């Protein structure tokens, strides 16, 4: 999976072939297909692992925080820290939706982070209804992802994180 990740990041999914992956990993094609049905299945596993790491970073950073506003701020920065690993934003935010489709991308790579954000918003806004929480989660998730992509593409990290934190603070002020 590490060899496949490196190739997917360097060349993109479409330009990475299974012969390259097995050569880089030092395994046979039979070994690859013993563990994964096809290249898409391997890609799915690589990206699921990436998403799990992002979720764990956020969980670890916010585990002992009781104040909902502080948890959202700390969790937000943890998300950007986790997404700053080279190639991760591209894999999770651009390639997964393009390769696996939006629905699978949402479930596979964004589901955990989205659930964490929704939980944080629910804690910060206990009077918000379910529909409002869902809408805020969708909108803020998109803003978080756009911010992570901008940072990955070279935008000023501090400026973008501060702007995103400002948006979150205004959204959760009641």
Low-confidence stretches of the chain (pLDDT < 50) are none
* Residue of 17, 9, 13 lying closest to 100 (CA atoms): 13
Q: How many angstroms separate the CA atoms of 163 and 52, rounded?
A: 26
- pLDDT, tens digit (0-9, with 9 covering 90-100), for 133-155: 999 998 999 999 999 999 999 99
pLDDT at 97: 92
Q: What pLDDT is stored for residue 110 in this prediction?
A: 62
Residues 6+ apart with CB under 8 A from 89: 83, 148, 149, 151, 152
For residue range 30-55, list pLDDT tens digits in order.
999 999 999 999 999 999 999 999 99
Instruction: Please name each of the domains of the chain with its CATH number.
Output: 47-172 (1.10.357.10)
165 exposure class (CB count in 10 Å sphere: 0-12, 13-18, 19+): middle
Predicted pLDDT of residue 70: 92
Please answer whether residues 123 and 146 qualify as being in contact, where contact means their C-beta atoms are separated by less than 8 angstroms.
no
Asked if 74 contacts 61 with a C-beta cutoff of 8 angstroms, the reply is yes
Rounded to two decimals, what is the model's pTM? 0.90
């Amino acid at each position: 999976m590490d060899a496949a990740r490196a190739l997917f990041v360097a060349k993109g999914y479409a330009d990475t072939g299974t012969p390259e992956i097995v050569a880089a990993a030092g395994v046979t094609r039979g070994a690859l297909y013993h563990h994964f049905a096809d290249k898409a299945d391997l890609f799915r596993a690589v990206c699921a692992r990436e998403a799990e790491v992002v979720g764990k970073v956020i969980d670890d950073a916010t585990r002992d925080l009781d104040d909902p506003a502080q948890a959202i701020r700390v969790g937000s920065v943890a998300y950007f820290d986790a997404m700053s690993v080279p190639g991760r934003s591209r894999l999770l935010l651009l390639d997964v939706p393009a390769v696996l489709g939006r629905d699978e991308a949402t479930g596979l790579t964004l589901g955990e982070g989205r659930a964490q954000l929704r939980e944080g918003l629910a804690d910060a806004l206990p009077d918000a209804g379910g529909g409002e929480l869902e809408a805020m989660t969708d909108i803020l998730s998109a803003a978080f992802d756009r911010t992570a992509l901008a940072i990955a593409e070279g935008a000023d990290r501090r400026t973008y994180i501060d702007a995103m934190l400002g948006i979150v603070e205004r959204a959760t002020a009641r």
